[in-house]
Amino acid sequence: MRSIDSTRLYFDRAADRMDLSENMRRLLLVAKREITVQIAVEMDNGEIATLIGYRVQHDDSRGPMKGGLRYHPEVDLDEVRSLAALMTWKTAVVNIPYGGAKGGIAIDPAKLTNREIERITRRFIDGIHDVIGPDIDIPAPDMGTNSEVMAWIMNQYQKYHGFNPACVTGKPVELYGAPGREEATGRGVGIFAVKLFSRLGRRPSDTRVALQGFGNVGSHAAKFLAESDFRVVAVSDVSGAYYNPKSINVSHALQYAREHHFSLLGYTEADQITNEQLLELDVELLIPAALGGVITAENADRIKAPVIIEGANNPVWPDADHIFEQRGTVVLPDILANAGGVTVSYFEWVQNRQHYQWDLNRVRQELDRVLSASFEQVWTLHAERKVSLRTAAYMLGIGRVGRATILGGIT
Ligand code: NAD
């Protein structure tokens, strides 16, 4: 299945419950603008590499478009389209004044030098600078990009348009970034876990957690969950998965990863298993926080966790989601579960525009406020309309985008 078909299926399930007309569906689904640009760069060895940069701007009816920039070998236009649409529903679910966008380049940052990544990033911005900006489309980090890349984006954009730090978010705190942005998505996943388990009447201390992915989202989620008394028993990254049935010492694993180029390779305080085995562990909570499409009809039957929180975008394909719905497995969907990052990106943009920096406490408090309100709205809709949490989140997001589109006027 292609990512775009997955997003479309989830959209349709909610649209059916809302009796949305075919014309309205098409209007909400077709992207406003899709850009592909040639990126020709000289590599460190003197050879010329020609890459393709993608930016899909899906919808701007609720505000400037917002979405991450992904550097990963599997990036293609189909995936970027799907992720851009997810951003539209996500910003609407947490009710921040943005639309949705996404970008990416099919490169493997682990195989490139920092200087090469910088040149690729700057050439990409040369190609798209006139269609992005603080009131148009604001990039942010995603898989394979970080605050350093965002600093290069800001610098390159400003060469054309002058001082304007609000043109990109996820910047280093020393360079117009917001304290708490880096931890925000993982922290948000943790905040939702606390709320969801409280609603389900289960205690964190009785909850064993398996987390796939130990990058930005996975590592911060693991830290927050461990601090909130959950028992993290398995973590993983591209090097494999690490399982300790008693519990993983998360701060120790984090320190190990930091000392080993953000990799758990060689971590010996747990048994090494595969990433596939991690997904199928006997745990109470599973958090896929790495790639999309890791849970499909092929492995859904073997997944034992009664609760899944989608830290990654699109980790559960609709065929698996259907099996989970039939069997009563609770899935907290990506468009709510990982919205902490874009929420703090919004706070960063607000601070940049006001030239006033908040402290970490204020960022955390506001994040908690926004996520708690969205969780309650999705939960209420799920209970009242007797739909899954995913369909409830889509209904909330689609309803808000649809109303803004109509209020703004189409003709
Ligand atoms: P990251 O690059 O910081 O980390 C990715 C992690 O996944 C790393 O630990 C990597 O080793 C691991 N990984 C890569 N390939 C793997 C594989 N085949 N099997 C197992 N693990 C693998 O990326 P991130 O920012 O943490 O993003 C992770 C997911 O969360 C993505 O789907 C992204 O779209 C989503 N997301 C991120 C943010 C954010 O603010 N960073 C916000 C919303 C959603």
Q: How close is the Cα of 155 to the center of ligand 1, in Å?
A: 25
The predicted-structure confidence for 256-288, as pLDDT tens digits, reads as follows: 999 998 999 999 999 999 999 999 999 999 999
> Mean pLDDT throughout 85-112?
97
Mean pLDDT to the nearest integer, 68-89? 96
Q: Is the CB of 169 under 6 A from ligand 1?
A: no
pLDDT (0 to 100) of residue 207? 98
Structure-block tokens of residue 306: 């009664």
- Encode pLDDT of 220-232 as tens digits: 999 999 999 999 9
The confidence score (pLDDT) of residue 2 equals 82
Under the banding of pLDDT at 50, 70 and 90, the label for residue 410 is confident
* Ligand 1 centre distance from Cα of residue 291 (Å): 6
pLDDT in tens, 375-400: 999 999 999 999 999 999 999 999 99
For the residues 50-72, what does the mean pLDDT come to? 98
Q: How far is the CA of 27 from the centre of ligand 1 (A)?
A: 31
- Mean of the pLDDT values across residues 91-119? 97
- Tokens at residue 330, please? 């609770």
pLDDT band at 315 (very low <50, low <70, confident <90, very high): very high
Query: Is 209 a residue whose pLDDT tops 80?
Result: yes
On whether the CB atoms of residues 314 and 292 are closer than 8 A, the answer is yes
Contact 177, 348 (CB under 8 A): yes
pLDDT of residue 1: 78
Q: What is the pLDDT of residue 213?
A: 97
Separation of CA 165 and ligand 1 centre (Å): 25
Checking DSSP bridges between strand 271-273 and strand 240-243, what pairing results, if any?
antiparallel
Whether residue 315 has its Cβ less than 6 Å from ligand 1: no
Instruction: Report whether residue 343 contacts ligand 1, using a CB cutoff of 6 Å.
Output: no
Per-residue pLDDT, averaged over 150-167, amounts to 98
CA 379, 383, 389, 393 torsion: positive or negative?
A: negative
On the question of pLDDT at 411 being above 80, the answer is no
Test site for ligand 1: of 217, 258, 262, most ligand atoms within 8 A of the Cβ: 217
Residue position matching structure tokens 């889509």: 394
The pLDDT mean for the chain works out to: 97
- Does the beta carbon of 210 sit less than 6 angstroms from any atom of ligand 1? no
- Please tell me what DSSP assigns to residue 390: H
Residue of the CA atom closest to atom 19 of ligand 1: 238
